[in-house]
Chain A
């Protein structure tokens, strides 16, 4: 079955600094890949998704992610982090009826 690894449990960055969250996946075919964000006490919000085509995908809130098949990675990036980006971020792979999520990366933003 497919699986996702998010190597970083917790990341701290300064406001205004760039951000990269790592995601590695295992999937037998061309993967469907997703990034979600979860603020405390709330459900998940879809940031972006990759199905096929251009390997650099743009999402909401200024986030982007790059699919690299050779590295089985789908890393999330943002050029300049805002304090409101502090949250937990989840990478997921799947078809919808068997989507597998990573354990999450908690992002702390320092003033």
Chain B
């Protein structure tokens, strides 16, 4: 299995508090992604990174920020959590080869509940 670790795996917090989720990879892949998964919506891209300190927004980036100071770590931050951000969050990684570049390996997810 690809070396992707998400932490924490579960978190319960209150509205208005800051939350940071961590994704750690041991594959040295260039691209890293954060998705959220909600019933009836499949996965939706929040932010992605194409290198250290290189990030860009995805489809549902409002209310989220990211940082990548090292190849292996990609952090997702909810500055002030809202109940609408209750979801399961997945990190994914990929290493492009020509035009072949899609999320190849996913972490096991972080279940976040905001009360």
Contact of A99 (CB < 8 Å), options: B50, B99, B102, B107: B102
Q: A43-B109, A44-B90 are in contact. Are A96 and B42 (CB under 8 A)?
A: no
Q: How many A-B residue pairs have CB under 8 A?
A: 64
Please tell me if A74 contacts chain B, counting CB pairs below 8 Å: no
Please tell me if B80 contacts chain A, counting CB pairs below 8 Å: no
Interface size on B, residues (CB 8 A): 28
Query: Nearest chain-B residue to A44 (Cβ)?
Result: B106
Q: Is the CB of A43 within 8 A of B90?
A: yes
Report the contact-size class of chain A (Cβ under 8 Å from the partner).
20 to 34
Q: A49-B102, A94-B102 are in contact. Are A43 and B45 (CB under 8 A)?
A: no
A46 to B106, CA, bound (A): 9
Q: Which residues of A contact B109 (CB under 8 A)?
A: 41-43
Which A95-111 residues sit within 8 Å CB-CB of chain B?
A: 96-104
Q: Is the CB of A103 within 8 A of B48?
A: no
Q: A43-B92, A51-B99, A96-B31 are in contact. Are A101 and B106 (CB under 8 A)?
A: no
Q: Which residues of A contact B43 (CB under 8 A)?
A: 44, 90, 92, 101
Q: Is the CB of B102 within 8 A of A103?
A: no
Which A1-34 residues sit within 8 Å CB-CB of chain B?
A: 1, 4, 32, 34
A90 to B37, CA, bound (A): 12
A36 to B16, CA, bound (A): 34
Query: Nearest chain-B residue to A52 (Cβ)?
Result: B99
Residue of B41, B42, B59, B94 most packed against chain A (CB within 10 A): B42
Please tell me if B28 contacts chain A, counting CB pairs below 8 Å: no
Q: A97-B48, A99-B45, A103-B42 are in contact. Are A42 and B31 (CB under 8 A)?
A: no
B binding-site residues for A, Cβ under 8 Å: 4, 31, 40-45, 48, 50, 56, 58-59, 90, 92, 94, 96, 99-109
A binding-site residues for B, Cβ under 8 Å: 1, 4, 32, 34, 41-46, 49, 51, 90, 92, 94, 96-104
